[in-house]
Structure 1
């Protein structure tokens, strides 16, 4: 770029280059008028580098008066000598944006008003025909990160560049995990996050167990409000409050081109205030909300009810509301009510919902009152449910019956996984299961562990054996209060179940049952089993004797592929017995 070509004195040209830095390559250099207060105009030199726009004084030595990144150029009020000069300047801005952010349409330039409109058409044609240089790893993230660092006056970290260009690229991951960089300064995290505003490669942003600073929260919100590629956002246990939910909803509303469909804000104190402001924004997401995790966010049934109103306009498939409580200084803890949640979901989330997690929530049902019909109706009407987790909900027997009958009459569901562990079902619940479970055709995985079933297991296992759809069964931690004479009957029923010809059972868990030497009854039966491929007997303290029985079973069983047997008080001798048995099976 010569002074003669630019009609700029050589000494001024050299001074401009010194001012912006000798390492900066200038692609455009023009004399312009800068509008200042009123109608006053001041002469300036406009210099355009691949990543920056400079305005400099016209006297030697030239001084930089303004400097902005081409990706965040907000407002420059300039007068160029001709329309052609203006079009050339805008064209260079657009092509530079294409080089820095491959795949990004230069028409992200806001308020591009040119008359006649054919000028915009010509620019668009120019940009469409422009072929950017090879982007580099991960959509040219490192180049964009360098530009952001330059703009924010933050040191460029070679470590970040190496991690993205090497590790992320080798794993072909589209998820940028800020957890990988939390050992760096907060301003480094700001720059890394800011690069996602226009990066076209990464579609997921996540960080867990790290308290976000106010400015990092704001930067994440800017990504949400600008990115047209971000599909999944996880901010788990990051110290967020209800005010973040308000700002998050505002950011979503500012981005009509957002493709965000998966959101996890788990383990943050959003409360009902946050749920209320989120509901309207979530319902307007263009692709439709698919996965939402608001577990342990201090929601009450009121907040969930408001949220559920927006679910009807979404394609929600995964919903996790487990572990929600509403705490106060002078009030008791009220846990999320399962009945109210299901009643709310019934009004809007039947079509797409596949995963429902309400673990550790409670029922506010009182015995003697009529059980709400909406609970059964929800499970009988759901069209896509595949995973239901009601673990730790103290499911009442009336609720258990409604749940099972609802599933039994639902002809739309297949391969349902039902977790009702830790619900204190005891004898009453066992009787309900006995009366219903045999005829339910759509449950393939059932977890009834830790329910105090004890001796009732003897009869229950008989009815479970009559069910021809259950392939995965977990019954551990149900043997702590069973008498020795009754334990034998329970184990015999279990043996009959797993040795039954044409048994559908492929996976069995007896974890943490502390059966000790009695576990050998089950282990001896493995030799005659032709269906089990997965067995979990961890936490049973079976000792070396049990290890010897397991070793014998493994020598004749040809179906088992996985055996989990840690925490069994086995010595080196027991380990050696099992190892020798496995060698014989090879």
Structure 2
């Protein structure tokens, strides 16, 4: 029995007013309510109400409002077919019944509207929640007639359009489809984090704290949204629900460009299923595929993938790193890629730019891969690391198709016995590449012949520069001459030479590296020095190697140096002492066993260094004491901005009683680093920098050849230091700042007008009109601008003024007569009784802590490193003075036996004894002009440690002048078992005390000049 018109209107009104009561709280409105004839079986129709509320379709039956019941309901996304039959005016629908996992088919007749209008109302509701679904409709809904697909683009867009292409609406509809609760935090993350940072790739790790079903709803949004163009999942184990929704995304999406599934435990048949999914949506714009670190060795699956790859004309990058692929799988991929280049009438051809097959064993049949490399001229990145592929088979093919390569990674590959026969091809290849930026041969034994060909090719190539070359574990001692000869002309900016076996041939390699003009980053850590360190016969070579490293730090163009894992140990002090003037901006000395002693020396260097910005020091056995020293150093250092917390050392130090001290030191270090990163006033930093630079150039000012210049130098340094410690001189900049701010305000007004006009135009395109003109100005904007400009100008003036101070001071100190002391001093040298010159070492001298060790130490200056006549280290026991009781039978120069105790030495012998002592003890502490005789020969032999000369009786027999002149009594004798024979006096010196330099100097100066001289000498 049919319902009357009044009853139908009453029921329709009741449904409209009681939506939330009938359907649920979230369905508070209805888009359309129609009276239909509904049938799930042929020729059996019933009168029912067809209601579209929000994102669901409800089919109700009942004769009165109080008797209404829901007969069918389904989500709009469940639709699988919409067919309009014009002849019978029927609308056939098919939808997925998720509860019963079946497809429901129904036929609808409507007397109130045409069936096609009813179909349009369904599609319009679908577009309201998924505005970008248009191109994907045909991928999951069969629509007849096709005119509906064309009309879909004309349907109105939901307003207002929400962020991220209506993500909020899409998400709530998908949550209903999967019968999951709506999560506000998901919407908040997408609309705030993703939209703010313009992120278009769903990263599943952002939502792993949610249950799997909630993750599915988030991923499902990428099926129909143009906002999301990629999916990244890394390190998350995927279950079957994840895999299924990924396949649905590939089948339905028309905007997915990137798919990264890294280390996700993908099933072994994943390649087979994803190939089928791609075949169902061949127009998907995939550009980047990365399935690395998943076991995907499926020959049949890759054969199926090979038929699909040529059709993905947008594909640019493929990565199957560490996927356990066999040669047959790689052959299938290569065959598919080759067909993408050779297909006839294929329209747009495949242009692959990156291919990564690292970590897969490719020892035998790789002919198809090699052929692909020779054909693909568009390839820019080729990664075959760890494949054990025979690289001899690649060179000729790379010369055909690889000249455009930017990155070539062949680490962990193999070479044949006849590899040197390919040297000419290698030389020609690397000499012809036009875009090369990175080459990786690490752990591939290419041999000296191929190495020479490679370096020669780079040196002859004028089209490339700043190449990154990785030769870790490649070179041995046979390669050292090659590196020494050919490295200098190579356009290499970054070089890795870790874990090489140079042994005692490393010294010429370091010398060649120091002379490279293009090299800015060097990694020479690892086991490069361990053989030299552990073998005593290489001690002298090891010392020269460390000195060469110091030269490299100070004299080359190197900006970053990595010495991590070198385990240099105690001799690390040689490098640390040179850091005071090093130009390095980054230094990595992790795992070098330097301990607290090294940390203390490092702190000294940081107090002087003004270039280092990044420092890595972990795994060095540093405890609370070392961290406290570093904290104190950073208190004075103004340039270091990054020193990652040494987590391993800190963790070990926490297990000791002084844990609170470690926490305090580490927090202070972080605070000082933050101060350096945010400091606006650079006056203190520039003051330190000028003083350091003047100190480093002291040798140029010849202060060691003239005491007069030395006094002036120290006065200039002291004045500059005191001058810079005061508040910087400020000139009035208010007028120029006001002028600049006024000009900027005028320019800003013009720019604002253009910006607002452009904004108004764009808003009009989106249907938004600006009705009123509102003046919106930030009241504090002008003050903020003035403050920033003033700070910028003051910093600029401060930097320029300090640069002027340095240049002027440097020029004045370089000239001979530009500076003169006032008073009675003449512009000449000042004689001293004890000659203590200013050290010629630009870096910090060797610490006394290390002088007694059996490891190489520094006792000579940088300028004397090439002198091979330096006396080798002497054992401590052999150089220590003999005890007094062993000297009773030692004969003097006259052949007389003397005792170890001289009761009353004669006054005439004390002058030469004192002179000898002074010269022997100060010659290693300074390199003054008085350390040699008139012919320039040194008074004593050079030593590599701060030790007294072996068995020198004069050294321990000497006593101060005051004590000799005042002593008139003999000390009580010491009881001995044998009688103590009185010693014979040593021979008298040829010069009398009156002719000594001290008395001669005293007689040549006036009393006034003598007093002024003493005052200036005491000052420095």
Over 3 Å counting, the alpha-carbon distance change for 1:405 and 1:181 in structure 2 is same
CA distance in 2, matches of 1:180, 1:156: 17
Does 2:526 correspond to 1:523?
Answer: no
| Equivalent residue number for residue 324 of structure 1 | 360
| Equivalent residue number for residue 484 of structure 1 | 539
Does 2:553 correspond to 1:498?
Answer: yes
Name the SS for the 1:519 alignment partner: helix
CA distance in 1, matches of 2:278, 2:403: 24
- Kept in 2, the 8 Å contact 1:318–1:355? The answer is no
CA distance in 1, matches of 2:636, 2:510: 33
Q: Which moved more, 1:400-409 or 1:461-470?
A: 400-409
Does 2:56 correspond to 1:52?
Answer: yes
Over 3 Å counting, the alpha-carbon distance change for 1:386 and 1:80 in structure 2 is farther
Does 2:466 correspond to 1:391?
Answer: no
Shift of 1:473: 0.8
- Kept in 1, the 8 Å contact 2:427–2:454? The answer is yes
Shift of 1:147: 1.4
Give deviations 1:500-529, integer Å, cap 9, x for gaps.
Answer: 2xx331111111101112222222333343
Shift of 1:341: 8.3
| Equivalent residue number for residue 160 of structure 2 | 133
Q: How does 1:295-310 map to 2 (within 5 A)?
A: 295-300=321-326, 303-304=329-330, 306-308=332-334, 310=337
Does 2:524 correspond to 1:469?
Answer: no
Over 3 Å counting, the alpha-carbon distance change for 1:104 and 1:23 in structure 2 is closer
| Equivalent residue number for residue 565 of structure 2 | 512
| Equivalent residue number for residue 500 of structure 2 | 451
Over 3 Å counting, the alpha-carbon distance change for 1:370 and 1:191 in structure 2 is same
Shift of 1:111: 4.8
CA distance in 2, matches of 1:183, 1:452: 48
| Equivalent residue number for residue 284 of structure 1 | 311
Name the SS for the 2:114 alignment partner: helix
Over 3 Å counting, the alpha-carbon distance change for 1:12 and 1:541 in structure 2 is same
Shift of 1:412: 4.1
Over 3 Å counting, the alpha-carbon distance change for 1:387 and 1:218 in structure 2 is farther
CA distance in 2, matches of 1:306, 1:511: 42
The structure 2 residue matched to 1:68, chosen from 66, 74, 95, is 74
Q: How does 1:309-348 map to 2 (within 5 A)?
A: 310=337, 314-325=350-361, 335-337=387-389, 339=391, 342=394, 346=398
Give deviations 1:457-511, integer Å, cap 9, x for gaps.
Answer: 21111222333222111000111111322211212222222322xx331111111
- Kept in 1, the 8 Å contact 2:520–2:559? The answer is yes
| Equivalent residue number for residue 97 of structure 1 | 126
Q: Which moved more, 1:365-374 or 1:138-147?
A: 365-374
| Equivalent residue number for residue 420 of structure 1 | 471
Over 3 Å counting, the alpha-carbon distance change for 1:340 and 1:388 in structure 2 is same
| Equivalent residue number for residue 330 of structure 1 | none
Shift of 1:272: 6.5
| Equivalent residue number for residue 21 of structure 1 | 24
CA distance in 2, matches of 1:275, 1:113: 36
Give deviations 1:145-186, integer Å, cap 9, x for gaps.
Answer: 221121122333444344434554555433322223334333
CA distance in 2, matches of 1:59, 1:304: 68
| Equivalent residue number for residue 483 of structure 2 | 433
CA distance in 2, matches of 1:390, 1:264: 23
| Equivalent residue number for residue 152 of structure 1 | 178
Q: Gaps (5+ residues) in structure 1? A: 328-333
| Equivalent residue number for residue 588 of structure 2 | 536
Does 2:634 correspond to 1:582?
Answer: yes
Name the SS for the 1:473 alignment partner: strand
CA distance in 2, matches of 1:348, 1:52: 60
| Equivalent residue number for residue 960 of structure 2 | none
Q: How does 1:166-315 map to 2 (within 5 A)?
A: 166-169=192-195, 171-271=197-297, 273=299, 275-289=302-316, 291-300=317-326, 303-304=329-330, 306-308=332-334, 310=337, 314-315=350-351
Q: Gaps (5+ residues) in structure 2? A: 83-91, 93-106, 342-348, 364-385, 533-537, 639-1020
| Equivalent residue number for residue 331 of structure 1 | none
Over 3 Å counting, the alpha-carbon distance change for 1:364 and 1:403 in structure 2 is same
CA distance in 1, matches of 2:428, 2:332: 20
Specify which structure has the bigger relative contact order, considering alpha-carbon pairs within 8 angstroms and separated by 6 or more residues: 1
Over 3 Å counting, the alpha-carbon distance change for 1:556 and 1:369 in structure 2 is closer
Give deviations 1:258-290, integer Å, cap 9, x for gaps.
Answer: 23222221111123635554455344334331x
Over 3 Å counting, the alpha-carbon distance change for 1:51 and 1:153 in structure 2 is same
Shift of 1:539: 0.9
CA distance in 1, matches of 2:320, 2:34: 54
Over 3 Å counting, the alpha-carbon distance change for 1:487 and 1:107 in structure 2 is closer
Shift of 1:440: 1.7
Name the SS for the 1:492 alignment partner: helix
CA distance in 2, matches of 1:526, 1:42: 92
CA distance in 1, matches of 2:502, 2:294: 36
Over 3 Å counting, the alpha-carbon distance change for 1:47 and 1:362 in structure 2 is same
Give deviations 1:211-231, integer Å, cap 9, x for gaps.
Answer: 212231121121122223322
CA distance in 1, matches of 2:68, 2:400: 64
Over 3 Å counting, the alpha-carbon distance change for 1:489 and 1:449 in structure 2 is same
- Kept in 1, the 8 Å contact 2:469–2:494? The answer is yes
Shift of 1:427: 1.3
Q: Which moved more, 1:509-518 or 1:563-572?
A: 563-572
Shift of 1:234: 1.6
CA distance in 1, matches of 2:488, 2:112: 80
TM-score (norm 2): 0.50
The structure 2 residue matched to 1:363, chosen from 403, 411, 414, is 414
Shift of 1:306: 4.7
- Between structure 1 and structure 2, the one with the greater Rg is 2
- Kept in 2, the 8 Å contact 1:102–1:132? The answer is no
Shift of 1:67: 3.5
Over 3 Å counting, the alpha-carbon distance change for 1:214 and 1:251 in structure 2 is same
| Equivalent residue number for residue 872 of structure 2 | none
Give deviations 1:370-391, integer Å, cap 9, x for gaps.
Answer: 4487766665555434233343
| Aligned residue-pair number | 566
Shift of 1:302: 5.1
